[in-house]
Structure 1
């Protein structure tokens, strides 16, 4: 193994993903071996109540068992703190439900490895390949695209994507603070105001292989309202901080 290679941590948040988590980890492990990455896989078990933990223990990965259920934001914050404290150069989020194919990992990593960006987001809405999500969710994503443009002057086509890579500078910031409940759209405003370079790359995604989404169509409007409040709170907090 080349000691000059960046150390990469792939963080997989997991809550009741017994039907998908084995495939996700094995998929990532095959890419690790094919690409010869200096890469570790960390599954963050967010107090799953199904058989996820028993399955995770049989897989070629590290496991972080949270003592209480923290939700996706808390699980990812735990993963980024793990990456920061152990000196990883790059951290990648890959969802535990099977939506993010392992063969797309090099696509998301390339702008970070080439030092073209601090954050790279895998987007399904640039080339419109693969699973495109529900109509209701696509409307919400367009709304967040408009809100991001308004607040930080940056167009992000897929702001709810959980397929993203951070360099060391971003890991350090995420270690200090990362949004709790719906972190993907909120963190875009956070990192945009902190001057980080964000880049989107086209990726293919799949429909989730199992489990249940935390956001249903009937909850979409409530989700948009709640996330909007979170985004605005983050925006005004950071703007006020910069003026001090």
Structure 2
């Protein structure tokens, strides 16, 4: 029996890139997986919703803007409620090529990890982000290693594969603001197996990043504090 796989695509004003993402997903050939595409519209003001309807995918149309963390958790709650075996977070801006999804699935099959992260920085192919953002990513790499003892080179990557255990945990709690670095601390504390696999990412095809002040002191301080509290958080 094929595994039920939900592809969660959080979107805020992604009309420029979403058609190409959905078209590429429709061309995927992944034997052994029953794929469902879910667009989570985080109160877009453009044509994101009409594009989702055009491609006949599942749509969660959020009544208020929740930010990237809330949008992703909404998709994971959908996966949990509908008994999906696996869920993938994939950005709607085109940075996460659907063809690279096979690498995440292959990694999970080999390692049986609860969470697989697609990393730009293992083989250093494709778009590597700006220099200033790489400095920030390097900082969170060291901070994550301090809190968890794990070496995750691309701790800010939003290209992620969750198994049932990770879906259930994230449905209970998932950071709502700049969630990727903090969630790694939370998952590690809960005992989840986390693995990283190389993928090739591209430059966003349109829209604006949800983290426009990535290198600001405010961002670094806020995420650092959030990671600290995740490290001391009691897991239910």
Which bin holds the TM-score, normalised by the shorter protein?
over 0.9
Runs of 4+ in 1 over 4 A off after TM superposition: none
Correspondence for 1:101? 97
**Which of 96, 112, 116 is 1:116 aligned to?**
112
Question: Where do 1:56-67 residues align within 5 Å?
Answer: 56-67=52-63
Moved more, 207-216 or 92-101: 207-216
- 1:111 Cα shift? 2.4
TM-score after normalising by structure 2: 0.96
Structure 2 runs not aligned, ≥5 long: none
SS in 1 for 2:21: helix
C-alpha contact 2:114 2:165 (8 A) present in aligned 1: yes
Q: Deviations over 1:146-186 (max 9, x none)?
A: 01111110010000000010000110101111111111111
SS in 2 for 1:91: strand
Gap change, CA 1:196 and 1:163, over 3 Å in 2: same
Correspondence for 2:12? 15
Q: Return the alpha-carbon distance in structure 1 between the equivalents of residues 116 and 183 of structure 2.
A: 13
Q: Deviations over 1:48-88 (max 9, x none)?
A: 01111111110141111001100000001100000000000
C-alpha contact 2:137 2:154 (8 A) present in aligned 1: yes
C-alpha contact 2:178 2:211 (8 A) present in aligned 1: no
Root mean square deviation of aligned Cα:
1.4
Q: Return the alpha-carbon distance in structure 2 between the equivalents of residues 14 and 143 of structure 1.
A: 27
Q: Deviations over 1:17-63 (max 9, x none)?
A: 010111111111111xx224311000000010111111111014111
Q: Return the alpha-carbon distance in structure 2 between the equivalents of residues 60 and 113 of structure 1.
A: 29
C-alpha contact 1:26 1:60 (8 A) present in aligned 2: no
- 1:116 Cα shift? 2.2
- 1:10 Cα shift? 0.4
SS in 2 for 1:8: strand
Moved more, 76-85 or 113-122: 113-122
C-alpha contact 1:112 1:166 (8 A) present in aligned 2: no
Q: Return the alpha-carbon distance in structure 2 between the equivalents of residues 114 and 83 of structure 1.
A: 23
TM-score after normalising by structure 1: 0.93
Structure 1 runs not aligned, ≥5 long: none
Correspondence for 2:165? 169
The answer as to 2:185 corresponding to 1:159 is no
